Structure 1
């Protein structure tokens, strides 16, 4: 059946019988926001949060290291400016909450538009909102891992609407191309969806003449992709070697070499195909994501039994795109859990699309199944949200509060205006205290730690130094202080230099995070 068939209708009376859905989603979102705001600071945030402050006077890539596309850094910078917050962590975590709100609203609107069922829309939103996998570091921290889901989902949903909307087909498909390009500007792995969807424009909708598909699907998507790629193109044209060296060269070269040496340090690191399959299984086939798959296959079976209403050309194209993205998720080496996020954005779209295939008689049987699966999602995911809500309700500090308290300790310990930058691999604390940092460590340890494994031509693209060159850097520009305690091995050259040059720990600074206890080193009085 062609992709242009109209969606099945649902009476307004039946919609009005579900007023509880909005209350449930708002209640769960309050818990989700509490979890984001109280989730402890993670190592990757030492890379993603600092640009919100650094971009006030410095240029991305040219003045400090950043090994991802630019839109995540620009996003956190804009949120920092728009909120007017002095706290970097507070504004960054608020940016994550805002991204969640926008993504959930988008999923509800697109799911209802496709299915004409508030129950199905509720299910699709819950599939993200109480997703056990996304309630971990992947979706709770200020990184680009969750930020990519909204634009990817938008690109897929707009593609579906374009295929089913003769009057606005070119517009929706154009916007689909824009969204997918913006997703790539957030995280490079979003490119997984581009080849299969570009190919799909040549076949969907199948009942259109090929020439019309080219004019209304292929060409608009290509133009939209070019428009959405303008921010990336601007950085690429300005300095192609530096831009590609940060994003592509880093991940293909020194990043792999570093983890090859330290692969046993973390269980989540996967090198071989077997390890990657285990990691993918843990992400895709457990908890909430297994329940989403159950709904997808249930609706698919019911739709095939009904043999009507479903736009088979469209769902087949989107299903193949998801499988293609899942396959490409195995390419990066080493692999981490967050590398398997992109297929989830497409998976959440499928229940609403496949619901169109289920006839009225079979929907009566399907609704209890849908309610049961949604209920299981809430049961599995809500304890994490309730725990965070209770912690804040009882007066527990947010992550921003804890970081600000640490920054207060740093400011109080430094006598007057610092005479130089503070040397640290945890720059968020120092920048939160509005103290200067070395450009070489401005975004944490990620370039510093790979320096011993990277060829000189690769390192020439980065503003950084290596453990073996710390002494030269500090001799030329002595630090006003050193903040250590978060990575013993990487900080060892810094501590050795501090001891050899008359610096001593300050007992007044002793805050902790999951990586260790802070130690502030100051020059001893002469």
Structure 2
């Protein structure tokens, strides 16, 4: 059975189609489809678990363990809105026995499943084609910009996307079907607000919905639109945003210092002074545009763009019979999705410097736009779309093979996963300390996941790694009062007040210099421990003086 036949066998029932007469062949095709998706999910899981440690994970993963005793912002530096920290906290409670980083990356895999599920359901509802919904899921799971840090590290980059897409999609469905069910519009507001509570940039999905809620459907009187459309969305958004409002009102200066002032002040100043430390850092508008071009117009996003253009050509260039066109194919849903594409694309250029994760939000909208275009293709021409979908699905899989195929070894347990290596390294550190009689004290390191994996104590000033530490010299003293922070000039005072039980260094030589100098000056003894090597270097461990037996 060809790939085209698979899509024929799963196309929408209300459209003219040719069905396979052989039920055995149909069943075999369905089984092959299930096996194919299972292998694809296994490959995504393997790449996620085998993906090397990233600095950003120091910001998002440690709070999942530390929130049992400390509070965000008051006790921990955290430069993002709080829902992401709470999300990883939930997964640590359920999966933490397998390791801290393991629980966080399981949380990311759950988001992959949600994103694939939401994309499949939305595109099925909007296009009426099961074949297209299957293609949309394949395109999501093989999208190469998500195969690197944006979708593989335990951070807040992927987390808001299924909620943002679900919120926008629920609104578009009600607009397309012209049903305007308050429950779904309320749910739309909840989803959009949750997305914004996970990552501030997800607020870019809200303006198109907000504007459309007051303007559409145009046939309704304005007062009725407000009551039936705008208010349910607004109330849903307010309900989901209550925790944010509570944090903001409890201490506005503290909340805004972490969420807004960090990103507009010391963060930018640090990178302007240290941009040479990161090659190809996108500081200028041109550099950001070049980075966005490589993400938006290559691989799977380019394939999706081609599919959208094909469907748009079929939909708008072919004379249609009014009696054979879906009556709910107004342009309003398309305009809302295009508006979301525009706002998310524009907002991705706002942060400085630009990193690849800032440009992935518009990509989740491409399958939805393609589904709306497909719904406008006249039914007699739907047969032509199946060949396009079959070829596009094959191209998506072929494009992703170099990214996903090697990591099936991690899924099968042939190679150790990154969470396993981190957990083993942390436990090796704890054992070395215990064997030398060191049972109390804190570990000083810019990679706090290692000690936290083994239940060791760390300094709150270094709880999220280098992010607060490195911006201290660039932070206004008044702003610094709102951060639990000690920079290179203050960290030795912290150590003098409470000497470290151990140092774990070797990953950031320039930033770690004050820590290394302190360890040497105070007579800490270096020992060799296996399992502390990662993409940033080989770990060096220094233990309290007088505790090492020769």
Distance 1:210 1:516 in 2: 62
In the alignment, which of 194, 209, 223 is matched to residue 211 of structure 1? 223
SS at match of 2:541: strand
State the shift of 1:302 in Å.
1.4
Asked if residue 48 in structure 1 is aligned to residue 77 in structure 2, the reply is no
Asked if structure 2 preserves the Cα contact closer than 8 Å seen for 1:192 and 1:324, the reply is yes
In the alignment, which of 406, 409, 413 is matched to residue 387 of structure 1? 406
Distance 1:72 1:80 in 2: 12
Unpaired stretches in structure 2, ≥5 consecutive residues: 1-11
Partner of 1:122: 134
Asked if structure 2 preserves the Cα contact closer than 8 Å seen for 1:159 and 1:173, the reply is yes
Structure 1 window deviating more from structure 2 (10-19 vs 468-477): it is 10-19
State the shift of 1:322 in Å.
1.0
Distance 1:270 1:301 in 2: 36
- The 1:207/1:268 distance shift into structure 2, 3 A limit, reads farther
Number of equivalenced pairs: 520
Distance 2:126 2:314 in 1: 17
Partner of 2:184: 172
Partner of 2:4: none
In the alignment, which of 204, 212, 236 is matched to residue 224 of structure 1? 236
- In the TM superposition, 1:431-510 aligns within 5 A as 431-509=452-530
SS at match of 1:418: coil
SS at match of 2:546: coil
Unpaired stretches in structure 1, ≥5 consecutive residues: 1-6
Partner of 1:3: none
State the shift of 1:452 in Å.
0.4
- The 1:147/1:510 distance shift into structure 2, 3 A limit, reads closer
**Residue deviations 1:79-106 (CA, integer Å, cap 9, x gap):** 1112352510111111111111122112
- The 1:355/1:321 distance shift into structure 2, 3 A limit, reads same
State the shift of 1:205 in Å.
2.2
- The 1:14/1:23 distance shift into structure 2, 3 A limit, reads farther
**Residue deviations 1:475-512 (CA, integer Å, cap 9, x gap):** 11111111111100110001111111111211235621
Asked if structure 2 preserves the Cα contact closer than 8 Å seen for 1:407 and 1:433, the reply is yes
Partner of 1:319: 338
Asked if structure 2 preserves the Cα contact closer than 8 Å seen for 1:185 and 1:229, the reply is yes
Asked if structure 2 preserves the Cα contact closer than 8 Å seen for 1:254 and 1:450, the reply is yes
**Residue deviations 1:278-300 (CA, integer Å, cap 9, x gap):** 01101101111111111112112
Structure 1 window deviating more from structure 2 (506-515 vs 447-456): it is 506-515
Partner of 1:89: 101
Structure 1 window deviating more from structure 2 (249-258 vs 400-409): it is 400-409
SS at match of 1:93: helix
- The 1:391/1:254 distance shift into structure 2, 3 A limit, reads same
Asked if structure 2 preserves the Cα contact closer than 8 Å seen for 1:55 and 1:77, the reply is yes
Asked if structure 1 preserves the Cα contact closer than 8 Å seen for 2:160 and 2:202, the reply is yes
Distance 2:207 2:432 in 1: 55
State the shift of 1:210 in Å.
2.6
State the shift of 1:213 in Å.
1.9
Asked if structure 1 preserves the Cα contact closer than 8 Å seen for 2:345 and 2:362, the reply is yes
Asked if residue 271 in structure 1 is aligned to residue 292 in structure 2, the reply is no
State the shift of 1:163 in Å.
0.9
Partner of 1:4: none
Distance 1:21 1:147 in 2: 27
Distance 1:14 1:56 in 2: 57
Asked if residue 330 in structure 1 is aligned to residue 335 in structure 2, the reply is no
In the alignment, which of 368, 386, 389 is matched to residue 387 of structure 2? 368
Asked if structure 1 preserves the Cα contact closer than 8 Å seen for 2:175 and 2:217, the reply is yes
What's the TM-score, normalizing by structure 2?
0.91
Structure 1 window deviating more from structure 2 (186-195 vs 12-21): it is 12-21
Partner of 2:6: none
In the alignment, which of 38, 45, 53 is matched to residue 33 of structure 1? 45
